[in-house]
Chains A and B, each alone.
Chain A
Amino acid sequence: MAQAAPLPPGATTVGSRRRSSSRAADSSFRWGTLVIAFGLIALLGLLLWVLLAGGWESITKFGFSFVTGRDWNPVTQAFGALPFIFGTIVTSVIAIVLAVPVSVGLALLLNEVESGWLRNPMAVFVDLLAAIPSVIYGLWALFILVPIFDKYVEPFLAHTIGHVPVIGALFQIPGGGKVVTGGNLFVAGVVLAIMVIPIVTAVTREVIAIVPHDLREAAKGLGATRYETIRMAVLPYARSGIVGATMLGLGRALGETIAVALVVGNGLGIGASLFRAGYTIPAVIANEFREATLGVHRAALLELALILVVISLIMAALSRLLVGRTAALVGSGPASAIEAGEAAGIVYGANVGLGPEEDSP
């Protein structure tokens, strides 16, 4: 940092006066930007405080039974959020189970296999997937995906995997084998999977790109096939970073509102079947804030928002830690650990990565 040299006391030449006035301008500019930057921290503090204060009535009134109660009825003032927590977890887990293999496969394809003309367009297309607004995902899912799933996919799964012991229960159609139209937990999970693929792919690519090239060359030099190279040289180093990418995807899936609200079915039931109408935390906030004129109802919704922000905060921190660990493991130093974490943040927030596209040479 270039700091102006201290002036001798009592110096009054024209030059020094000009310098001191410019130093005053300098320091006020610096302080101005500092105050604005600090504003961002204040904003997060205010957000947490507003949600905490707004939800306080519900927190003190229901205590822990808020998250264990199964009855949610604003008319009788019963507020048990378990159905929403259940739905949020189930849809997010479906999303992650479906999205992670596809994303890791795609990331490996783009970084390790395809080096021809298809690579860049594919990378761009995946990023564009992240740019599509969630309401358009919801619209498409509601009118295109849900009918296809109701008619073909769910009956098919029920007749095949549905007969397998233990996990079959997940794929049985509730209520006597007739598909109830209008969305369910499974479709919502599939839509979420599509929405988180770009994020998980982008972060996984960053992580794979920082695995040192020597390791791959060494494996290839020993005669390893591509599969063996990836399995033995790349994945062990990238593992914690990929888990971090998964966390980031999970955080995104947990908080997604509009697309889920359109296809999840808005049902309060809890059960084994994935083909049951469910409900999620963000969806109930979006659907009920209008009627939440009663103090307790409003407080209950704000407590749900608080739960959501705390979970996503934990996910973001965990993800950063894990992605950073990969960077530390491969020994490319703290600098690139931070870069990988930052890339995660930027991709996550800004939809399209600003990070460099051309990675591994």
Chain B
Amino acid sequence: MIAVERSVPPRTLSTRRRVKDRAFTVGLWVAGVLALIPLFAIVGYTLVRGLSALNVAFFTQTPTVPGLPGGGIKQSFIGTAIIVGMAILFAVPLGILTAIYLSEYGNTRLAGAVRFVAEILLSTPSIVAGAFIWALVVVRMGSFSAVAGAIALTVLMWPIIARATEEVLRLVSTELREGALALGVPRWKMILRIVVPTAGAGIFTAVMLAVARGLGETAPILLTALGNDFVNTNPLQPTDAVPLRIYNYAQSAIISLNSLAWGGALILLLVVLSLSITARVLSDRQQRRTR
């Protein structure tokens, strides 16, 4: 509120103008508080309800017969690890190589088109990626599977990694590139040995953001991996995932299952938020260094 006084020159203002200005400032603060209430409400409720659901069985057991208490969602953790792990294997090389093209050879019309398409894909609803892979892979293979889930996530993660990595590759100084080229290092070697390692931390950040997004996606996994009550490690079979399990148990009429949903939500929230915060800290630090 000190800021309010500072910006208003004293004694020259009519009361009406001053009141209007004050009211406006108060309105902005109200907007700020309103926007932040949900964050604290969601994190708070998830902590409280989730913590009471956590125990050893939660992590080490599969679901019990519906209605019986106890049980866990071990299969969801394993499934998420498999699906997101495969998606990382697919999306990271694709994303980084796309970024290399865009930043190192990217003065072409094609590069402009690729950037535009990447943005379109970024704003495509995730359920569309799910429906796409459902029609393309699941219906054709005749089975829901972890691979289909990973491909659906790749559709979402590839453009994220490509665009974010391009940004960090561009931060690598021209002098460094020219220096390497002047010493006779071939261009491809210069890119792989000098540019990419220099931008390494930034690329890592980009991948973390993409993984955070992939971990929390529900709709595309639902349409492709379907879910499973048992541990499944065969990538060609229906596989469970944490967000799927939360979605299913949220809709259940059984209170013990609702509680398991909150437990899953707590773990998911902790992982996703810590990935996002770490990525943010890393990228801030990097920007400060390159400036």
Contacts and interface: CB of A to CB of B under 8 A. Distances in A.
A132 B42 contact: yes
A254 interface: yes
Contact of A225 (B17, B100, B162): B17
Contact of A133 (B24, B132, B135, B217): B217
Contacts of B3: 113-116
Interface string A248-263: 1001101111100010
B160 A350 contact: yes
A253 to B, nearest CB: 10
Contacts of A345: 118-119, 122-123, 163
Given A33-B98, A128-B277, A102 B34 contact: yes
Contacts of B17: 225, 228
Contacts of A134: 216, 218-219
| A interface residue count range (under 10 / 10 to 19 / 20 to 34 / 35 or more) | 35 or more
A325 interface: no
Contacts of B261: 139
B39 A128 contact: yes
B36 interface: yes
B283 interface: yes
A75 to B, nearest CB: 21
Interface string B91-116: 00010011011101101001101100
Given A106-B31, A138-B247, A351 B21 contact: no
Given A29-B188, A50-B135, A225-B7, A316 B32 contact: no
A289 B111 CA distance: 36
B94 A41 contact: no
Contacts of B232: none
Interface in B135-188: 135-136, 139, 155-156, 158-160, 162-164, 167, 178, 181, 186-188
A36 interface: yes
Contacts of B236: none
A340 to B, nearest CB: 12
B212 interface: yes
B205 interface: yes
Main secondary structure, interface of A, reads: helix
B158 A43 contact: yes
Interface stretch (B57-65, B67-75, B266-274): B266-274
B209 A350 contact: yes
Interface in B244-291: 246-247, 250-251, 258, 261-262, 265, 268-269, 272-273, 276-277, 279-280, 283-284, 287
A354 B217 contact: no
Nearest to A229: B7
Given A46-B136, A133-B217, A352-B209, A312 B124 contact: yes
B196 to A, nearest CB: 12
Indicate the member of B4, B156, B187 with the most A CB atoms within 10 Å: B187
A197 B111 CA distance: 31
A248 B139 CA distance: 32
Contact of A320 (B119, B126, B258): B119
A142 B17 CA distance: 44
Contacts of B205: 354
Interface in A317-359: 317, 320, 341-342, 345-346, 348-352, 354, 356-357
Contact of A41 (B114, B156, B273, B287): B114
18 contacts: A1-B105, A38-B114, A41-B114, A47-B128, A54-B135, A109-B29, A125-B36, A131-B212, A135-B247, A144-B41, A226-B8, A226-B21, A226-B25, A289-B131, A308-B127, A316-B123, A342-B167, A356-B287
Interface of B: 3-4, 7-9, 12-13, 17-18, 20-21, 24-25, 27-32, 34-36, 38-39, 41-42, 45-46, 49, 94, 97-98, 100-102, 104-105, 107, 110-111, 113-114, 117-132, 134-136, 139, 155-156, 158-160, 162-164, 167, 178, 181, 186-189, 191, 205-206, 209-210, 212-213, 215-219, 222-223, 226, 243, 246-247, 250-251, 258, 261-262, 265, 268-269, 272-273, 276-277, 279-280, 283-284, 287
Given A116-B3, A135-B265, A226-B25, 4 more contacts: A102-B31, A140-B45, A350-B213, A357-B284
